[in-house]
Amino acid sequence: MRIRLGYVAIALGISQGSPNKTTTVLNLTKIKDKKDQLSKLRRLAEENLATQLRVMRYNAAHHIQVFRITSQLIPLATHPVAFGWDYCEDFRSELLAIGDIVKRHELRVSAHPDHFTILNSPLEHVVEAALADLRYHVNLFEAMELGAEAKLVLHVGGLYKDKAQSIERFKVIFQQLPDTIRERIIIENDDKSYTAKDVLTLCQEIKTPMVLDVHHDHCCNEGIHLEDILPEIFATWGSQIPKIHFSSARESANKRAHADHIAVDEFLIFLNIAKKCNRDFDVMIEAKEKDLALFSLMEKLKEISGVKVINEAEIEY
DNA sequence: TCGTGTCAAGATCTT
DNA sequence: AAGATCTTGACACGA
């Protein structure tokens, strides 16, 4: 089976590899003129997009096909201070250039709206904000002219003291989403509330791909062994290549935190479980050291018998 | 230049 | 009911 590896948002292997520059609302509102406020946001966005393009070229050059785009490309895009700003129009050519690289090099890009984006909240304004944030992500993908294969990873959300009802609420809102958003959503198990089994069942019901996060499964599961459900998890992807998230626990009181690097022995344990599925898949490496962690994992994998290195970010096992 | 408090957003635990 | 904590990377300010 072929396994491609990728990393999240920031390239540490090149200088100025963070397409994450932003400002705070407090600082922005110190600027009197609305037009000057917007200029500042524009300047930051422009810089981020230029960085993003460099990062994409770097990824392509290193055969890294799997990549997560930061949610902070356009600073404060969905905050009221930026209301009415047509960032896609302003940066049409920059966004197209990014999309062009993605398509030319067959990169697999996704985004992961962060934990404020919650569809199953009982609070209407929270769901409204989540929809606005999803819309923002879809706007960017559409401006890049990327199809529904550019996905948005979401968690189920909060428990609100009643898991069954909270899952039910997720399903209802999910079905009401416009196609343009719904077709991009994939759902990940989290480290506290919704186990891999919970998400698998949900994903089967709503016919949506599931992203297995192996580390989250270690933090939060119901005593179910991964090998028993992995084939079903992969099956939620149909003919698409499944993707999983992989990280190692930081050696601290909080086991849920991500470590700098990936422990190769843990990775091998997963490979051996996955081998029984006999299916290609992609791995998003979630480590503090980002692309550097990916490269150092690859170096270690070279030493393992049975692992054949295809290129800097792909193996056969 | 370096260190530190703060940041749009929610949920949940603690007091 | 209010406040702290979670978690992340980076800004912005002050030393």
Give the type of residue at A26.
Answer: L
Nucleotides in B strand less than 7 A from protein CB: 6-12
A296 touches strand C (CB under 7 A): no
Domain holding A27: CATH number? 3.20.20.150
Question: According to the model, what pLDDT value does residue A222 have?
Answer: 86
- Report which DSSP code applies to A241: P
pLDDT tens, residue by residue, A66-89: 999 999 999 999 998 998 999 999
What rounded mean pLDDT belongs to chain A? 94
Residue A139 CA, nucleotide B6 C1', distance (Å): 29
CA neighbor of A10 nearest in space, from A42, A41, A49, A52: A52
pLDDT tens, residue by residue, A148-161: 999 999 999 999 99
CA distance A294 to A296: 6
Please give the radius of gyration of chain A, using alpha carbons only, rounded to the nearest integer. Answer: 20
Is the per-residue pLDDT at A254 higher than 80? no
Total of domains in chain A: 1
A27 touches strand C (CB under 7 A): yes
CA distance A33 to A61: 43
Is the per-residue pLDDT at A245 higher than 90? yes
pLDDT band, very low/low/confident/very high, at A231 (cuts 50, 70, 90) = very high
Residue A160 CA, nucleotide C3 C1', distance (Å): 20
pLDDT tens, residue by residue, A17-28: 999 999 989 889
Range of the domain at A209: 2-316
Nucleotides in C strand less than 7 A from protein CB: 6-13
CA distance A125 to A111: 23
Q: φ and ψ at A229, to 5 degrees?
A: -115, -10
pLDDT tens, residue by residue, A154-205: 999 999 999 999 999 999 999 999 999 999 999 999 999 999 999 999 999 9
Residue A234 CA, nucleotide C11 C1', distance (Å): 41
Residue A22 CA, nucleotide B4 C1', distance (Å): 19
User: Could you tell me the two tokens for A224?
Assistant: 């179910």
For residue A188, give the 3-state DSSP assignment. Answer: strand
